[in-house]
């Protein structure tokens, strides 16, 4: 198979079904005859990204403290200009 054959239509996805983030469906589009409709969970599964990583209380407190400090700094900058 050459590059054009591999990348035409859904040939690449036929070789790698684990990379499909949803359900394939045919369209009438000349340029995109096959499209995929999926959910956020499908995309996260395919990409391997996990946004549900638990954080402990100390990390949350540290993030909150940094955000509060940043907000105070911005307020001070606005007052001095």
The DSSP element (H or E) to which 29 belongs, if any, is none
Q: To which residue do tokens 């009438």 refer?
A: 28
The model's pLDDT over 24-79, given as tens digits with 9 standing for 90+, comes to 899 998 888 888 899 988 888 888 776 665 567 778 888 888 889 999 888 888 88
Number of domains in the chain: 1
Rounded to two decimals, what is the model's pTM? 0.46
Both tokens of 10, joined, read 């859904």
Query: What residue numbers bound the domain in which 23 lies?
Result: 3-80
Which residues lie across from 37 on neighbouring strands? 23
Give the separation between CA 10 and CA 18, rounded to whole angstroms: 13
């Amino acid at each position: 198979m050459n590059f054009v054959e591999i990348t035409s239509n859904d040939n690449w996805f036929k070789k790698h079904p684990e990379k499909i983030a949803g359900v394939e469906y045919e369209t009438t589009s000349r340029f995109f005859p096959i499209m995929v409709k999926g959910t956020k969970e499908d995309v996260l599964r395919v990409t391997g990204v996990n946004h549900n990583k638990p954080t402990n209380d100390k990390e949350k407190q540290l993030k909150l403290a940094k955000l509060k400090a940043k907000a105070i700094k911005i307020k001070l900058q606005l007052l001095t200009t």
